[in-house]
Structure 1
Amino acid sequence: MSRTSRHLTPTGTIQATRDRRRVAFATVAGTTIEWYDYFTYAACAGLVFGALFFEPAGEGISTILAFGSVGISFLFRPLGAFLAGHFGDKIGRKPILVITLLLMGVATALIGVLPTYAMAGVWAPILLILLRILQGISAGGEWGGAVLMAVEHAPAKRRGFFGSMPQIGVPIGLLLSSGMLQVMNWLFPGDAFLEWGWRIPFLFSIVLIALGYWIRRGVEESPVFTEIAERKEQTSAPVAKLFARFTPLVLLAALVFAGNNAIGYMTTGGYIQNYGTAELGLERGPVLAAVTWSGVSWLVFTLLAGIISDYIGRRTTYIIGYVLLGIAAALTFPVVNIGEVWALTVALLVLTVGLGLTYGPQAAWFTELFPSSVRFSGVSISYAIGSIVGGAFSPMIAAWILEATGDALNIGYYLVGMAVIALVATLLLRNRNGINLRPTQEERQRTGIYIWQKPLDETRR
């Protein structure tokens, strides 16, 4: 028997505290770097890409096209999720994490050296979009591997906490991105930012990717997948099996995530940054500072939500989160429209409470929802579809709503609607705290998923 198998507990997790901490650190570091790259692009789409890459389309349309380039990457997340899910369920979680990290880093660094439209004409936006597509493929495969490594190593009663580790990497990535852009805005004020300042955060990705690769390559494979491999039970076509047996679950899980993603991408997708500077006339530096503070708050509530979900359940945490998020979404633009930086900051801070509560428990809940043989495919593809339905084009939709109606309050109605849809999907799923994750329990993992099914027998977990 292998060393990893000897450490497996009856619930399919690993006992060694040092191993769990190493995995937690690796998932935080890797996810932070991946999303630093992703958010840097989204922020620059709102701040500079319209003028530098899409200017001939005209002022309003160039902004919509810039946000459209943000959304295009989401269309390729399912491809990344399908590839990562297929190979992650066949060859393991760890190799996929290393590959996605390198792919994201190379694409991001190349964006930093792209010529603008003034230099290369139509080839500039084409190359920008192609590199954004590579970012989308990488992001589609990254999340599933990171959360499974974190949750499948965790003690059953602390999966929410350990699962929140890759989740907090996202707001940390936002913090790092907005902080770097603030520094560049200070070092390269005015036109200098448009000429050179925006490029440096993309080039800095090279340093981060080297660090992330060094951290991730030293992490042990998930103990659950190790047992699957030892038993030679890898599924030959995990994606086909997933959709043959669990299509309703994939769709519901995607909708659970869609509400959080649609509302969250008002900030992480660059829309608020553009709205504050272009529509309200606020200075770029204070707006980026407001986003940075919202990243801190989002981090805190994401971590807190993961911990809380270990006590009150993932589903209950989500229900509370979506109620708060819907209220906050309705109030965001009325508060932002006060036209002061403090009002923008308050609106974003309030929004992050619900965002954290509907994001922190996601890793643990998605992992507990899907059976072991299709788990990587299930969590990755659900996440990718939810990203398309929710966040893919929410900044673009917001820009279109404002262009069409002239009133940002209408954007709030759209966001509240997304929160309601996600809440309904949440109510249709059962809580799964503590379910046995081992491959020997696959049959039981298929039961008690939906509210119309009988709940799991608590005494047999």
Structure 2
Amino acid sequence: MSQTSAVKTITPDPPRRFLDGKKRVLASAFAGTTIEWYDFYLYGTAAALIFNVQFFPSGSELGSSLAAFASLAVGFFARPLGGIIAGHLGDRVGRKALLVVSLLSMGIASTLIGLVPNFNAIGWWAAAALVVLRIVQGLSAGAEWGGSALLSVEHAPPRKRGLFGSFTQIGSAAGMLLATSAFFSVQTLLTPEQFESFGWRIPFLASALLVALGLWIRLGVSDAPEFQELKDSGNVAKAPLRDVLTKHPRVLLVTIGLRLAQNSVFYLITVYMLSYLAENRDDSTAGVTAVMIASAIGLFTGPLWGWISDKVGRKRVTIGGIIGVAAFGWIFFAFLDAGPLAFLPIVVILGMNLAHDAIYGPQAAWFAEQFPIEIRYSGVNMGYQLGTVIGGGIMPMVAALLYVIGGHSPWLICGYLTLLCLLSLIAALAAKDPARELAISARAGD
């Protein structure tokens, strides 16, 4: 009697990569935007602390500060153009390709800023080179946000879009934390003379290493199936920008308005506050420390607000944040003028992590939900970037002018911020809220 034995061949599972699937998508959204915003925010910190003296010397402190802040604003004015170009290509070619290009261009521009000689070495050519590189930063930033936001939101389950989109948003907090930490570390380790001579350049030069890391993560991500299906069907929009302007002008205005309050208070805190404290309280470190702390907390509050918006809807969360920003502006400047700076981190946390993040955390998902997929990149990019120019890009410069016009009192700045909050409130009330409808349906089905 013979016995046949079967030998079972076991094929080992293929090794899992360190980052796979949706984890890699979220890592790409977070890491890519962190590096992009690190580079972009470095310029804002440097504009408040060093560029006014080293690149824009003038006969008055106000003139130098206004020139430095104007060069900062140039990057914001370039962002809509970068958004338009990236939106057109991203709606036709894909999100991933544009994100790789934006990361590379931002890293190259930032590294070169760290190498530009100052005014004493080459005169006004130094300022010209700085402005050109700032324009490149603006074009890159204009391409980045929309693509990263859509990549994360389009990969998300319908009831988790706010949470997934928040990983793009917290890249802003992480980038700010890295930028302020880099300047804080350099200022701490070097003497003031060394910092002014060469130390401020180190954070810009470090960008090259961060970009290499970001590219490694981002190159392993593909476009979402939703967009791939659209592309394979051949139904991509031939002129997505034209379609946004002619078929969806109301939605475009809504997204622009939603940016105003959030972005304006962000740049009041992270940029203008630094020069305000240096001028009025003779302190250049308390503001940087407070921003660092709030940025670290923002890594958690951003996803928290995104998750809450998945549960109760984007509109409720955002309106609460807008009202908070309007009230915060008046409290903020009253504290900056007379409050003990040891408690400044607490005040900044109230403005950044409670009010600002309630608007910003759900924003990627809410913007994506306003536009159909065939024009989504163009729509969210244009709304986001135009709102950024109006709300944040010119805010430090406008604040500096309003402070002088108001008799060296911040009351006009607070009034201006309140006006922007009113416009954002109108936009929030006009925006559709699919997340709210999903939340209601889910509760009804439970």
Alpha-carbon contact 1:370-1:379 (below 8 Å) kept: yes
Q: Shift of the alpha carbon at 1:300?
A: 2.8
Q: How does 1:381-420 map to 2 (within 5 A)?
A: 381-405=382-406, 406-420=408-422
Name the structure 1 match of 2:326: 326
Contact 2:84 2:382 in 1 (8 A): yes
User: Which residue in 2 is equivalent to 1:42?
Assistant: 44
The letter for the 1-side match of 2:347 is A
Match of 1:214 among 197, 213, 216: 216
Partner SS for 1:81: helix
Amino acid paired to 2:392 = G
Q: 1:408, 1:196 → 2: CA distance? A: 34
The number of residue pairs the alignment matches comes to 422
Alignment partners' CA distance in 1, 2:141 and 2:159: 28
CA contact (8 A) 2:46 2:200 kept: yes
* Residues in 2 aligned to 1:202 and 1:339: alpha-carbon distance in whole angstroms: 33
Whole-angstrom distance in 2 between the partners of 1:434 and 1:202: 42
Gaps of 5+ in 2: 1-18
Cα distance, 1:118 vs structure 2: 0.7
Query: CA separation of 1:297/1:325 partners in 2, compared to 1, >3 Å: closer, same or farther?
Result: farther
Contact kept? 1:335, 1:343, Cα under 8 Å: no
Give the counterpart letter for 1:129 in structure 2. Answer: V
AA of the residue aligned to 2:243: K
Structure 1: how far apart are the matches of 2:133 and 2:437?
Answer: 40
TM-superposition CA deviations, 1:395-432 (whole Å, max 9, x none): 00111112222102332121122112111111111212
Q: 1:347 is matched by which residue type in structure 2? A: V
How many Å apart are 1:331 and its aligned residue? 0.9
Contact 2:314 2:436 in 1 (8 A): no
For 2:318 and 2:360, locate their aligned partners in 1 and report how far apart those are by CA, in whole Å: 8
**Cα 1:191–1:37, aligned 2, differ >3 Å: closer, same or farther?**
same
CA distance in 2, matches of 1:130, 1:221: 32
Do residues 360 (structure 1) and 364 (structure 2) align?
no
Match of 1:3 in 2: none
2:399–2:413 contact (8 Å) kept in structure 1: yes
Q: Contact 1:286–1:341 at 8 Å: present in 2 too?
A: yes
CA RMSD of aligned residues (A): 1.8
Stretch moving more, 405-414 or 241-250: 405-414
Supply the distance in 1 between the matched residues of 2:347 and 2:162 (Cα, whole angstroms).
27
- Deviations for 1:340-399, whole angstroms, at most 9, x for unmatched residues? 322432321110111000000001111111001100000111001101110011000111
1:133-167 Cα offsets, whole Å, 9 max, x none, are 11110111100000000000000011110010000
Quote the residue 1:231 is aligned against: 233
- Contact 1:94–1:220, Cα closer than 8 Å, also in 2: yes
CA contact (8 A) 2:260 2:390 kept: yes
Alpha-carbon distance in 1 for matches of 2:199, 2:411: 33
Q: Distance in 2 between matches of 1:321 and 1:434?
A: 17
Q: Aligned partners of 2:349, 2:279: CA distance in 1, in Å?
A: 21
- Counterparts of 2:218 and 2:193 in 1: how far apart (Å)? 39
User: 2 CA distance for matches of 1:77 and 1:381?
Assistant: 9
8 A Cα contact 1:156 1:434, kept in partner: no
For 1:37 and 1:29, the matched residues in 2 are separated by 12
Report the alpha carbon displacement of residue 18 of structure 1 after superposing the two structures with TM: 4.4
Q: What's the secondary structure of 2:248's corresponding residue?
A: helix
The structure having more radius of gyration, on CA atoms, is 2
Q: Deviations over 1:2-51 (max 9, x none)?
A: xxxxxxxxxxxxxxx94111100110000000000011100010001100
How far apart in 2 are the matches of 1:310 and 1:66? 40
Show the counterpart of 1:103.
105
Give the corresponding residue for 1:33.
Answer: 35
Corresponding residue for residue 253 of structure 2:
251
Residue of structure 2 in register with 1:347 after alignment: 347
Query: If the length of structure 1 is used for normalisation, what is the TM-score?
Result: 0.89
Length-normalised TM-score, structure 2: 0.91
Q: Percent identity?
A: 36
Pairing of 1:34-433 with structure 2 (within 5 A): 34-268=36-270, 270-282=271-283, 284-338=284-338, 340-352=340-352, 353-405=354-406, 406-433=408-435
